[in-house]
């Protein structure tokens, strides 16, 4: 079940566009990381040279990549979870309530993280013009810290959307998902035998 399909049309369109931008950024960033490390190896071991201060411009990119990737993981609900309760219980009402409670807890924690990220940015802005910067390229630490803030904002936003959809669809959504999962398992076992 796609989350954006369960949202109001305009909200769903905005969320889809934001996701497309994040996916594009994540793909380009991953390519830049791989290309940079390839160039570092070529320059260092073949040409006996060095790529100047590459760690400094990769640091902000890695922060943005990590936190926007975490936001996409929140949207797709694919974070690593050490949760076996849902596989033990078959009662849709229990599963739905468990998901609602977990999503509320996730949203509350993420809202606290957004608040602390705001405090971090506020302190950073207050220290201007004596911002902390990288040594060689003088990139302000504000740049990666802003990526942390944006990532947490999107994580909170997507958690709120998951909660909205859970409350909107109710227990019937869990029942439908359980039936669809059972059909998928039957298809998969039928194809492998």
3-state helix, strand, coil in the chain (%, to 5): 80, 0, 20
The whole-number average pLDDT for the span 118-134 is 92
Nearest CA among 19, 124, 122 for reference residue 73: 19
The whole-number average pLDDT for the span 14-37 is 96
Q: How far apart are the first and last CA of the chain?
A: 27
Q: Is the pLDDT of residue 85 over 70?
A: no
- CB-CB neighbours of 94 under 10 Å: 15
The whole-number average pLDDT for the span 72-88 is 79
Q: Three-state SS for 127?
A: coil
d(CA 37, CA 59): 13
Any idea of the CA torsion for 112, 20, 57, 63, to the nearest 10 degrees? 20
Q: How many domains does the chain have?
A: 1
Top-confidence residue, 188 or 45 = 45
51, 90 Cβ separation under 8 angstroms: no
153, 146 Cβ separation under 8 angstroms: no
**Cα–chain center distance at 126:** 28
**Cα–chain center distance at 75:** 7
Structure tokens at 51: 């790529």
pTM for the whole thing? 0.86
**Residue-wise pLDDT tens digits, 137-171:** 999 999 999 999 999 999 999 999 999 999 998 88
Q: Is the pLDDT of residue 70 over 80?
A: yes
Top-confidence residue, 45 or 86 = 45
d(CA 170, CA 58): 44
d(CA 146, CA 152): 10
**Residue-wise pLDDT tens digits, 165-188:** 999 988 887 777 777 777 777 788
Q: What pLDDT was estimated at residue 3?
A: 87
Q: What pLDDT was estimated at residue 190?
A: 66
96, 170 Cβ separation under 8 angstroms: yes
Q: Which domain holds residue 78?
A: 3-192
* pLDDT cut 90: percent of the chain above it: 62
């Amino acid at each position: 079940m796609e989350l954006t399909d369960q949202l109001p049309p305009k909200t769903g369109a905005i969320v889809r566009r934001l996701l497309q931008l994040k996916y594009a950024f994540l793909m380009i960033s991953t390519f830049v990381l791989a290309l940079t490390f390839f160039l570092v190896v070529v320059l260092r071991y073949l040409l006996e040279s060095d790529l100047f201060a590459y760690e400094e411009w990769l640091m902000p990119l890695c922060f943005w990549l990590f936190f926007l990737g975490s936001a996409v993981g929140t949207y797709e609900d694919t974070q690593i979870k050490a949760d076996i309760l849902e596989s033990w219980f078959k009662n849709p009402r229990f599963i739905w309530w468990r998901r609602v409670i977990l999503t509320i807890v996730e949203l509350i924690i993420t809202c606290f993280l957004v608040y602390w990220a705001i405090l971090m940015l506020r302190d950073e802005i207050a220290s201007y013009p004596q911002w902390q910067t990288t040594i060689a390229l003088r990139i302000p630490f504000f740049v990666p810290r802003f990526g942390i803030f944006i990532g947490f904002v999107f994580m909170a936003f997507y958690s709120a959307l998951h909660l909205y959809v859970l409350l909107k669809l109710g227990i019937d959504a869990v029942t439908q998902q359980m039936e669809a999962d059972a059909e998928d398992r039957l298809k998969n076992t039928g194809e492998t035998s």
